[in-house]
């Protein structure tokens, strides 16, 4: 049986970050105005064999080899974690031990979802990263086009010619 | 309460937030706690998201 994938188009997420202590908006150091940033965020439901999570979201990250989730989410899902042979290299060049496990992603929101996709997730042993949706398997299963000028991206199921 | 739409979010930087019907109802560094809290609300109305640091690079 094949996994049914569907087309998606999502606008980039606009984030206005607040100082966690003062709850005041973080300002742009150059302009003094409220800092607004845009990210390609992909909505989905993540599940394990034991538990189905709430609707959540991850940063679509073509620079990441695979899917990264924080330890807190792995614990919530009661994932069976195995220490990986290879650590992960993080953006500042450090090497961080990681665990791996299996999970299921159902991409979509608002009642429009594709079939669950079985994925391997990496769970850093330290730190609290956002959920990162890297290339394997999502960029293999979908042709993903970033339309940076319009702050949106499109996902179409990949079909070999 | 900070309002959230599908395409924008305002909340404390770096924290996991539970959003119910477009309103941030809780935020924390602890993802597990926020996913547990989200279970108490209707699934169709609830999103657990992370407020990204505005000037951070990720893994």
Contacts with B38 (C-beta within 8 Å, 6 or more apart), sequence order: A54, B18, B46, B48
Is residue B49 within 8 A of residue B26, CB to CB? The reply is no
pLDDT digits (tens, 9 = 90+) for A107-159: 999 889 999 999 999 999 998 999 999 999 999 999 999 999 999 999 999 99
The reply to whether B43 touches chain A by the CB within 8 Å rule is: yes
Distance CA(A133)–CA(A65), nearest Å, equals: 9
Using the predicted structure, report yes or no on whether residue A15 has a pLDDT greater than 60.
Answer: yes
Per-residue confidence band for B9, with pLDDT thresholds at 50, 70 and 90? confident
CA distance A33 to chain B (A): 13
Per-residue confidence band for B47, with pLDDT thresholds at 50, 70 and 90? very high
CB-CB neighbors (< 8 A) of A129 in chain B: 58-59
Name the token pair of A94. 């450090």
Enter the pTM of the model.
0.91
φ, ψ of residue A81 in degrees (nearest 5): -95, 135
pLDDT digits (tens, 9 = 90+) for A19-70: 888 989 989 888 999 988 899 999 999 999 999 999 999 999 998 999 999 9
The reply to whether B22 touches chain A by the CB within 8 Å rule is: no
Long-range contacts of range A83-92, CB-CB < 8 Å, 24 or more positions apart? A84/A122, A88/A122, A88/A124, A88/B59, A90/A124, A90/A127, A90/B59, A91/B57, A91/B58, A91/B59, A92/B57
CA distance B26 to chain A (A): 12
Contacts with B23 (C-beta within 8 Å, 6 or more apart), sequence order: B1, B2, B3, B4
Per-residue confidence band for A89, with pLDDT thresholds at 50, 70 and 90? confident
Per-residue confidence band for A92, with pLDDT thresholds at 50, 70 and 90? confident
Whether residues B49 and A61 touch (CB distance < 8 A) is answered with: no
CB-CB neighbors (< 8 A) of B20 in chain A: none
pLDDT of residue B57: 52
Chain A residues with a Cβ under 8 Å from any Cβ in chain B: 11-20, 23, 25-26, 35, 37, 39, 41, 43, 53-57, 59, 61, 64, 68, 70, 72-73, 75-76, 88, 90-92, 109-111, 124, 128-132
Domains and their CATH numbers in chain A: 8-157 (2.40.70.10)
| Predicted complex ipTM | 0.91
HSE-up (13 A, CA, CB side) for residue B29: 4
φ, ψ of residue A75 in degrees (nearest 5): -65, -40
């Amino acid at each position: 049986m094949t996994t049914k994938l569907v087309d998606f188009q999502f606008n980039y997420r606009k984030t206005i970050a607040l100082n966690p202590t003062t709850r005041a908006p973080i300002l742009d150091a150059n302009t003094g105005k409220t800092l607004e940033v845009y990210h390609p965020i992909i909505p989905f439901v993540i599940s394990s064999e034991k538990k189905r999570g709430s609707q959540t979201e991850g940063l679509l990250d073509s620079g990441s080899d695979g899917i990264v989730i924080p330890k807190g989410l792995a614990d919530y899902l009661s994932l069976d974690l195995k220490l990986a042979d290879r650590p992960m290299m993080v953006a500042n060049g450090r090497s961080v031990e990681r665990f791996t496990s299996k999970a299921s992603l159902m991409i979509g929101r608002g009642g429009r979802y594709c079939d669950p996709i079985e994925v391997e997730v990496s769970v850093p042993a330290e730190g609290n990263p956002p959920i990162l949706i890297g290339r394997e398997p999502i960029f293999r299963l979908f042709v993903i086009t970033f339309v940076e000028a319009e702050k949106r991206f499109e996902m179409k199921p990949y079909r070999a010619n | 309460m900070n309002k959230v739409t599908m395409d924008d979010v305002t909340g404390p930087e770096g924290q996991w937030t539970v959003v119910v019907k477009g309103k941030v109802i809780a935020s924390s560094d602890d993802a597990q706690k926020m996913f547990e809290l989200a279970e108490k609300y209707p699934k169709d109305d609830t999103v657990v998201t992370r407020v990204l640091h505005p000037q951070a690079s990720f893994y």
